[in-house]
Amino acid sequence: MKVGVPRTLFYYAYSPFICSFFEELGVEVVVSELTSKKIIDEGVEDAVSDACVPIKLFHGHVKNLLNKVDFVLVPRLVSVNDESTFCPKFLGLPDMLESSLPDFDNMLEVRVDTKGKRSELFKTCLKTAGTLGIGFFKTLRAFNKALKNYEEYKRKFREGTIPYLGVESRDKNSDVIIGVVGYPYILYDSYLSLDIIKKLISMGCHVVTPEMLAEEEKRREDLKLRKLLFWTFSNGVLRASYNFIRENKVDGIIHVTAFGCGPDFIVDKLLELECKEKNVPFLTVTLDEHTGQEGVNTRLEAFVDMIRIKKARKEAAVS
Ligand code: SF4
């Protein structure tokens, strides 16, 4: 049996768990191809026109898998903790796909609403495995293995390896530290993000991202947050950014966001205000399917040059 996993959205946060789980069940996992112009164009063709680019992309990745697998995984991510839910577009993903792709008849819909409880996650896995005709003990073994794999993946990230891009976040000559913040399915998709992280590393920057912080470090910011937001990924971005700024871990912050993203209207404004208050250079890069590489490169170069000049002036003033 083959299960297709679209290489976007939940993939860039949970694939080490998901892929390992299915593989341990003895199911072949087929991940859609890397994002390309063809996949974006195919997604744009069918998605509702006012959707953000990651959602359009999801349609393209599903189409990329349709005739290659028995089922295509489409999770309905509701909650993975007891404080927030996912963005409404994650909640309505299976419905959106059903309406936009009427011929999509092999969807493996999985509702994930664990509220942070491991037992609920196991129940979800058990139900999914049951759909594929797999029993309790095999599922339990696969579940434990998948959890272990997921912990290992998070550890690597915290040590500075970016698994999806195959790079280390620090070049040995780095002289500037940039916090690159945004949703994982934007930051770590090379095509969609126009390889912003790799570009910064090649410019001699040390890049830090939200996934490089342990959950406890992010939560240390909670007391200082004016308000928690409703959405899980948005809170992750806010907490990490506040930590970078308030503990002086970065020389500047770049917020990478998707055009038309509702939650990011709030996140971006809060980050802008925080950076202004703490005098930390801040840049927003908004991406959609038409954004050009050259324009983004120029903005990144100008931002990094400005930080280097600022640092040099500060050092000169001290000496
Ligand atoms: S959080 Fe924003 S970018 Fe992500 S799916 Fe929702 S609207 Fe799209």
What integer pLDDT is reported at residue 215 of this predicted model? 87
Residues 151 and 234 in one domain: no
Residues 185 and 314 in one domain: yes
Residues 255 and 292 in one domain: yes
CA gap 255, 276 in Å, rounded? 14
Domain total in the chain: 2
How crowded is the C-beta side of 288, counted as CA atoms within 13 Å? 9
Single out the residue in 132, 157, 182 at which a domain terminates. Answer: 157
Residues 253 and 152 in one domain: no
Residues 216 and 118 in one domain: no
What integer pLDDT is reported at residue 65 of this predicted model? 97
Residues 25 and 153 in one domain: yes
Residues 112 and 184 in one domain: no
Three-state DSSP class for residue 9? coil
Torsion of CA 117, 121, 123, 128, to 10 degrees: 170
Residues 171 and 245 in one domain: yes
Of 206, 201, 202, 207, the closest CA to residue 175 belongs to 206
Structure tokens at 22: 């299915």
Residues 25 and 119 in one domain: yes
Single out the residue in 96, 124, 157 at which a domain terminates. Answer: 157
Does ligand 1 come within 6 angstroms of the Cβ of 263? yes
Read off the CATH number of the domain in which 169 is found.
Answer: 3.40.50.11900
Distance between Cα 141 and ligand 1 center (Å): 33
CB contact set of 165 (below 8 Å; sequence gap of 6+): 188, 190, 195, 197, 198
CA gap 149, 139 in Å, rounded? 15
Closest-CA residue, ligand 1 atom 1, reads 87
How crowded is the C-beta side of 125, counted as CA atoms within 13 Å? 27
Average pLDDT, 10 consecutive residues per value, the chain (319 residues): 97 97 97 96 92 95 96 97 94 95 94 96 97 96 97 93 85 87 97 95 94 88 76 94 93 96 94 95 93 91 96 86
CA gap 36, 87 in Å, rounded? 25
Residues 99 and 216 in one domain: no
What integer pLDDT is reported at residue 49 of this predicted model? 85
- Tell me the pairing of strands 167-168 and 161-162: antiparallel
Residues 103 and 183 in one domain: no
What integer pLDDT is reported at residue 226 of this predicted model? 67
pTM attached to this predicted model: 0.95
Does ligand 1 come within 6 angstroms of the Cβ of 179? no
Distance between Cα 309 and ligand 1 center (Å): 35
Can you point out the beta strands (E) in the chain? 2-5, 28-31, 71-79, 107-113, 161-162, 167-168, 176-181, 205-208, 252-258, 282-287
Phi, psi of 113 (to 5 degrees): -140, 70
Single out the residue in 139, 157, 175 at which a domain terminates. Answer: 157
Which one of 261, 286, 287 would you pick to mutate in the ligand 1 pocket, going by the greatest count of ligand atoms within 8 A of its CB?
261
In which domain, by residue range, is 252 found? 162-318
Read off the CATH number of the domain in which 41 is found.
Answer: 3.40.50
Residues 102 and 136 in one domain: yes
